[in-house]
């Protein structure tokens, strides 16, 4: 299974969108500082995860969230309202 996920930094108002087929390991990599693009914003909470059967579908959805910020911002707003 493939996952598209959103992480929220615990120290700054900053979010990261990514995709992977090994979600728990990837989150550990982000939180341990092994990912250059997120190192300065760790630690993180997982606030969103959507599962896909195929990698191509996950990558398309990840790109959609990154390109069309309105959907990403709606997801973030919904998680903050809880």
Can you give the residue ranges of every domain in the chain? 2-80
Question: Is residue 61 within 8 Å of residue 4, measured between CB atoms?
Answer: yes
**Helices and strands per DSSP (H, E), number in the chain:** 3, 3
Q: pTM higher than 0.85, yes or no? A: yes
Q: What is the CATH superfamily name and number for domain 2-80?
A: GIY-YIG endonuclease (3.40.1440.10)
3-state SS, residue 78? helix
pLDDT in tens, 19-66: 999 999 999 999 999 999 999 999 999 999 999 999 999 999 999 999
């Amino acid at each position: 299974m493939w996952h598209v996920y959103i992480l929220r930094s615990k120290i700054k108002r900053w979010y990261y969108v990514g995709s992977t087929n090994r979600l728990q390991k990837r989150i550990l990599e982000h939180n341990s500082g092994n990912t250059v693009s997120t190192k300065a914003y760790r630690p993180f909470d997982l606030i969103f995860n959507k599962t896909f059967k195929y990698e191509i579908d996950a990558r398309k959805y990840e790109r959609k969230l990154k390109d069309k910020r309105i959907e990403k911002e709606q997801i973030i707003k919904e998680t903050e309202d809880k």
